[in-house]
Amino acid sequence: MLDDSKKTGLILGLLTAFYFLLVWQMDSESLWNPWIINFTWIPYFVFVYLGVKNYAERKPEAEFRDLVREGFLVYFIAQIVYYVFYYLLFFQIDPSLLELQAEIELQMLEETRGILGDERADEMRRSLEEGEASVSPGSLFRQFVPSLLPGFAIAALFALFVKKGEF
């Protein structure tokens, strides 16, 4: 079932969306908990690895770049599914999450005031209060593009290990 990178990416994206849907149902504030967010890296590592490994088993003559491409494809499709889910959740299903996010960001800002310094913290507070840093469909796209970089790095790392026969 996970022998096709597109299917693997789709399954990973749906799994991630389902996970965050459960978190939202239990406690919407937990959507910003770093432990809950970072937990999603585990399936990403597993599924990208499976995408690379399965492709290498199907095509033993595959070059390094082919393996990277397949692993990245898994990550890319999963990210598309996740960001579509994120948009639907925040802009269609529960728009109150946008206000909650602003409150949580202000709270985090106050907690890190000592690290940032008063001047920088006040500047960031003003920008948050004026809505400059709020989430919008356009800002989601601007977040999506750089979110792909870790996927490339993870795919390249696993491709290297699989190509060398270490995994």
Percent of the chain at pLDDT exceeding 90: 66
| Environment class of 32 (CB within 10 Å of its CB; exposed 0-12, middle 13-18, buried 19+) | middle
pTM of the model: 0.85
Residues 148-158, mean pLDDT to the nearest whole number:
97
The pLDDT value recorded for residue 2 is: 59
How far apart CA 13 and CA 6 sit, in angstroms, is 11
How far apart CA 129 and CA 22 sit, in angstroms, is 29
The pLDDT value recorded for residue 137 is: 78
Residue whose pair of structure tokens reads 């597109």 in the numeric block: 6
The pLDDT value recorded for residue 111 is: 76
The pLDDT value recorded for residue 1 is: 57
Of 62 and 140, which is predicted with more confidence?
62
Among 28-32, 62-66, 126-130, the range scoring the smallest mean pLDDT is 126-130
Q: At residue 50, does pLDDT exceed 80?
A: yes
Residue 150 pLDDT grade (very low, low, confident, very high; cuts 50, 70, 90): very high
H or E element, residue 162: helix 137-164
- Residue 100: count other Cβ atoms within 10 Å of its Cβ: 15
The pLDDT value recorded for residue 24 is: 96
129 Cβ neighbours under 8 A, 6+ residues apart: 106
Q: At residue 132, does pLDDT exceed 60?
A: no
Q: What phi and psi values does residue 146 have, to the nearest 5 degrees?
A: -70, -20
Percent of the chain at pLDDT exceeding 70: 92
**Amino acid residing at 10:** L
